[in-house]
Amino acid sequence: MSSIYSFPLRALDGTPTTLARYRGRVLLIVNTASRCGFTPQYQGLEQLHREYEPQGLTVLGFPCNQFGGQEPGTAQDIQEFCAQNYDVTFPLFDKIDVNGPSAHPLFRLLKAEAKGILGTESIKWNFTKFLVDRTGRVVSRHGSKDPPSSLRREIEKLLRF
């Protein structure tokens, strides 16, 4: 079985990468969008990243245009939007699909390991959040309506181990 560290990815600037560079860190992996009612969550995600990054947390953003076409821009558009509106410093990756036959393998794994309500795997909307411990194990899934701040206690617990 593949680990979250093995999937080929592209950073938002197009550079090929994997999550291997984040091995040993607590990860908060989020499918994002710039034109969504939940877009202000970028602020809370950035706050968590800045506050807990020194202790070992990394927030990772994966833009997705599958929900209402709410991420229509280019990689440059996304980067500029995030920088200008939310001063995002956490890593952003190339736009991907999170559902359906073209879903990125990373998100297939995340969904299989942390199912949604009633055991469903499908992601319902933008800003679904997956928490991954330092060993690469997916420990929880949080929906769009869960503000980033609601994950503090769980993040702090994972950072202690």
Structural domain spans, the chain: 9-160
Return the SS3 of 17.
strand
What topology is assigned to 9-160 in CATH? Glutaredoxin (3.40.30)
CA distances from residue 23 to 27, 48, 95, 134 in whole angstroms, order as listed: 9, 19, 22, 7
* Element holding 57 (H helix, E strand): strand 57-63
The 10s digit of each residue's pLDDT in 22-75 is: 999 999 999 999 999 889 999 999 999 999 999 999 999 999 999 999 999 999
Catalytic residues: 36
* Element holding 10 (H helix, E strand): strand 9-10
> How far is the C-alpha of 107 from the C-alpha of 122, rounded, in Å?
10
The 10s digit of each residue's pLDDT in 58-71 is: 999 999 999 999 99
> How far is the C-alpha of 79 from the C-alpha of 67, rounded, in Å?
19
The 10s digit of each residue's pLDDT in 80-130 is: 999 999 999 999 999 999 999 999 999 999 999 887 666 677 789 999 999
Alpha carbon 68 to its chain's center:
18
